[in-house]
Amino acid sequence: QKEVEQNSGPLSVPEGAIASLNCTYSDRVSQSFFWYRQYSGKSPELIMSIYSNGDKEDGRFTAQLNKASQYVSLLIRDSQPSDSATYLCAVNQGGSSNTGKLIFGQGTTLQVKP
Amino acid sequence: GAGVSQSPSNKVTEKGKDVELRCDPISGHTALYWYRQSLGQGLEFLIYFQGNSAPDKSGLPSDRFSAERTGGSVSTLTIQRTQQEDSAVYLCASSLWGPTDTQYFGPGTRLTVL
C-alpha cells in the first residue's frame, strides 16, 4: 500500500463546476497535510494546509480532513480553466517518526473545460 | 531573497561525470529539503536539513548522492558518477522552522544524463 494515494485522473469538469480531489494516507499519526498545485513544467506551489479535523476554506478552495478515516480532500468551487493542473497531496509523518519527510501522492490531473 | 532559488536551471552531463546542484533557501528559513521528480512521477524525498545537520538522509538513493548545508543557508546536492536513471528534476524546498511547516519550493534543476 502506498503511503499517500491519489487517483491520477484526469479529472475533467466543466467551467464553473465543483472539482473534488481526494487523497488517503496510511500513517495514522500523521499531523500535517498539504495540497500543492503543479502546472506542467513548474514547481509545486502551496494551495492549502490543514492540521485539524474538519473543513478549512480559503477563497474558492476548501480542504477537508478526516483523521479517523485517514483521508483529506480538496474542493475547488467555480472551477476555472486556469485551475487545470496537477494537484499533489502531501502528508508529513507525525509522532516520533516525524523526521521532516513530506510524502507526496502521485497527483491528480485536473482539466477544467471552458 | 524573495523565494527559494536553485542553480543551474538546466544541467546536461555525460554518464559517469559528477554534478553539483545548488539551493538558496528563503532567508531565515531553518529547514531545507531536497526532492526529485522524474518525468510524470510524483515527488521523491531525498534529504532534510535542520540547520546544518541532516536528521533524515533516508531518501538518498545510493552512496553516489550526498548533500551538505553550510552556514544554515545554502545547500549543495552532489551526484557522483552520474547514471542515466539520475535524470530528473531536482527540487529544493525550505520552511521556516521545521517539518510541520509549509514548504516552499524552488524552480528546480532539470538534470539530463546522456
Which among A77-81, A96-100, B48-52 has the top mean pLDDT?
A77-81
Nine-digit cell string for B28: 531565515
Say whether pLDDT at A96 is over 50.
Answer: no
How confident is the model over B35-86, as pLDDT tens digits? 999 987 789 999 989 888 887 788 899 999 999 998 889 999 999 999 999 9
pLDDT-based confidence at residue A94 (cuts at 50, 70, 90): low
Cβ <8 Å between A43 and B98: no
* Chain B interface residues (partner A, CB cutoff 8 A): 31, 33, 35, 41-43, 45, 48, 50, 55-56, 58-59, 91, 98-100, 102-108
Query: B36: nearest CA in chain A?
Result: A43
Q: List the single best residue of A102, A103, A108, A109 to mutate versus B (max B Cβ within 10 A).
A: A102
Confidence (pLDDT) at A100 = 61
Query: A104: nearest CA in chain B?
Result: B43
Query: Cα–Cα distance between B93 and B106 in angstroms, integer?
Result: 6
Query: Cα–Cα distance between B109 and B24 in angstroms, integer?
Result: 12
pLDDT-based confidence at residue A8 (cuts at 50, 70, 90): confident
Q: In which residue are the cell numbers 509545486 written?
A: A44
Higher pLDDT, B2 or A42: A42
Our CA angle for B17, A41, B34, nearest 5°, is: 55
pLDDT-based confidence at residue B111 (cuts at 50, 70, 90): very high
Q: List the single best residue of A5, A39, A43 to mutate versus B (max B Cβ within 10 A).
A: A43
Taking the CA atoms of residue B9, residue A42, residue B80 and residue B76 in that order, the dihedral angle to the nearest 10 degrees is: 70
Say whether pLDDT at A95 is over 60.
Answer: no
Query: Cα–Cα distance between A47 and B60 in angstroms, integer?
Result: 27
- Return the number of CB contacts < 8 Å for A and B: 62
Residue A59, C-beta contacts closer than 8 angstroms, at least 6 positions apart: none
Tell which residue, A111, A59, A60, A108, has the closest CA to residue A81.
A111
Cβ <8 Å between B102 and A46: yes
Given a contact cutoff of 8 angstroms between Cβ atoms, the answer to whether B53 and B10 are in contact is no
Residue A39, C-beta contacts closer than 8 angstroms, at least 6 positions apart: A85, A86
Percent of chain A scoring above 90 in pLDDT = 76
Say whether pLDDT at A27 is over 90.
Answer: no
Query: B50: nearest CA in chain A?
Result: A100
Query: Cα–Cα distance between A65 and A30 in angstroms, integer?
Result: 11
